[in-house]
Structure 1
């Protein structure tokens, strides 16, 4: 009888320990809630500029670089500056090929020899070893995941839509494959209040939100552009709420 009573008391304590200050029950994940901000493609100069603007927030990001062989020495130097600050420089394919289509047509070995290994060699030769990969076009399937997760510790796909925060797919879930939600203003789901609602949900439920963008600009004039105001809103929220800025590679060791 005493054992039963002790068991019930312990159960109540566990339930209360999993309830945050807002009265919401959350799963204890063992890591600090936060955000992963990522950028795709080869907008190196724009990335360097936005870094200077966002430095006061203490931000960290992951920059997925494509077409590495076309970068000039100044751009490679800018990538080193970003890395030295604490950002992650990661891989986005040598020629921005569609992984799913290419592997379906030519096979995994041809894809690796054409798109991945030459890129890795160039990045390593420039002391910018890549530990993570993001799919061009977000184009992936189980086959491509199996191929690329043998080469990289973390792989990022994409997700879309303005789902309720509890149903979104852009949170880290303990897997080496993660999905980011786009911040570019051209996406139908674009909404700064919505992005902040995801951060609020992450804060209250011990989660990490993953976002991606392409070209950061002060004023949006085309597709694949994210304005500074959006990035400031996200970074300020993270800083104000004592959340953490993660890089994609940080997730591998959580």
Structure 2
């Protein structure tokens, strides 16, 4: 009789509400911890310069989801003029663990061409703690970090021949890390490394080392009312929120239709709807918050036009460093970009003290970024 009752109980699905209540409790606790951390940081408010406004950095993990990013994210972020970070691997999580196809590489590079950051998420998405504990830190670096950097250097867009920029940031697979893994990565390989939410301080601009993030995927039972509180507190304290997501998928899209089998069921729960991202963008804009890539939060400038970046390195900064620091651009008062064949001014917004800009004859179609330069008085 007892086994029959248990069977009926399972078939009645009464266990589902119990699980849901438990998850809701965990989600509520999760968001309360975030709110508490932000309230604590409100005691340490700092004055912000124009580029240091508090804001949001969207951070998307797992590049086997690139079709979703491209199909549902490219137009959305382009419409709202938002740059985000996509954290990639070299291999598909499913489909026989195959290497990314050229079509997928092209999509990633086109996202980069739109101004988004392409960051490092491990060559094959190994758990850093487990791998380092079993094989040692050096073996983990050799297996997961260096191979993806090399792989990215070898790739190129099939038509434009554009290549990946050297990654500035690293996102830990499964958000698992240790102080030892952090020390092994920063500054030798990256400027900043991202995990999940913990009791670390939320980042201000110019941060290096480890930064936390807040996951808003459906699996975490995202609560927009709590999130709005978090935004207001971040705005008041002058800190930034790194928002971790995975797939970008409308609610009506059935994950099972991708045909990846049972092993893909759990990863399928890590998804955020475009309407949720749009709601976050709108709410942040109401609070006069801005949107950064993870690299920008680390104080590293990103550019779309290679001619623009090469000119800055060669003539303005005279540097061969891996990355260009935003603070080194903030003191520049005059730029002469004539005859450089520049077609995109992305990155000009970092020059917050620029007073004079010479463009001459150019093929730049979009000059809206110049509106972000408060001291710019002369354009010719």
TM bucket (normalised to shorter chain) is: 0.7 to 0.9
Match among 38, 42, 45 for residue 59 of structure 2: 38
Q: CA RMSD in A?
A: 2.0
Q: Which one has the largest radius of gyration?
A: 2
* Cα distance change of structure 1 residues 138 and 25 upon mapping to structure 2, 3 Å threshold: closer
Cα-to-partner distance string for 1:4-43 (whole Å, 9 max, x where unaligned): xxxxxxxxxxxxxxxxxxxx98322441111010000011
**Which secondary structure state, in structure 2, belongs to the residue aligned with residue 122 of structure 1?**
helix
Match among 182, 189, 198 for residue 230 of structure 2: 198
**8 Å CA contact 2:90, 2:151 repeated in 1:** no
**8 Å CA contact 1:99, 1:144 repeated in 2:** yes
1:17 corresponds in structure 2 to none
Q: 2-side partners of 1:25 and 1:159: how far apart?
A: 20
How far did residue 176 of structure 1 move?
2.3
Correspondence list, 1:14-93, <5 A: 26-30=45-49, 31-42=52-63, 43-49=65-71, 50-68=73-91, 70-93=99-122
Cα-to-partner distance string for 1:202-254 (whole Å, 9 max, x where unaligned): 22222211110000111175411111121111111223332211011112226
Q: 2-side partners of 1:210 and 1:151: how far apart?
A: 21
* Cα distance change of structure 1 residues 170 and 223 upon mapping to structure 2, 3 Å threshold: farther
Q: 2-side partners of 1:29 and 1:134: how far apart?
A: 26
Match among 282, 287, 290 for residue 244 of structure 1: 290
**8 Å CA contact 1:66, 1:94 repeated in 2:** yes
Match among 160, 165, 172 for residue 135 of structure 1: 172
How far did residue 53 of structure 1 move?
2.5
Higher RCO (Cα < 8 Å, 6 or more apart): 1
Q: 2-side partners of 1:200 and 1:249: how far apart?
A: 23
Q: 1-side partners of 2:190 and 2:210: how far apart?
A: 10
1:229 corresponds in structure 2 to 275
List runs of 5+ in structure 1 lacking aligned partners: 1-23, 161-167
**8 Å CA contact 1:159, 1:170 repeated in 2:** no
How far did residue 67 of structure 1 move?
3.0
**8 Å CA contact 2:234, 2:240 repeated in 1:** yes
Cα-to-partner distance string for 1:80-102 (whole Å, 9 max, x where unaligned): 11111110000100110011111
1:179 corresponds in structure 2 to 212
The structure that is strand-richer by fraction is: 1
Correspondence list, 1:112-131, <5 A: 112-126=141-155, 127-128=163-164, 129-131=166-168
**8 Å CA contact 1:170, 1:210 repeated in 2:** no
Q: 2-side partners of 1:66 and 1:195: how far apart?
A: 29
Normalising to structure 1: TM-score of the pair? 0.81
**8 Å CA contact 2:119, 2:167 repeated in 1:** yes
1:157 corresponds in structure 2 to 195
**8 Å CA contact 1:170, 1:209 repeated in 2:** no
Q: 1-side partners of 2:201 and 2:116: how far apart?
A: 20
**Which secondary structure state, in structure 1, belongs to the residue aligned with residue 213 of structure 2?**
strand
Q: 2-side partners of 1:29 and 1:241: how far apart?
A: 15
2:308 corresponds in structure 1 to none
Q: 1-side partners of 2:271 and 2:200: how far apart?
A: 22
Q: 2-side partners of 1:29 and 1:175: how far apart?
A: 18
1:6 corresponds in structure 2 to none
**Which secondary structure state, in structure 2, belongs to the residue aligned with residue 27 of structure 1?**
coil
List runs of 5+ in structure 2 lacking aligned partners: 1-42, 92-97, 156-162, 255-267, 300-326, 328-380
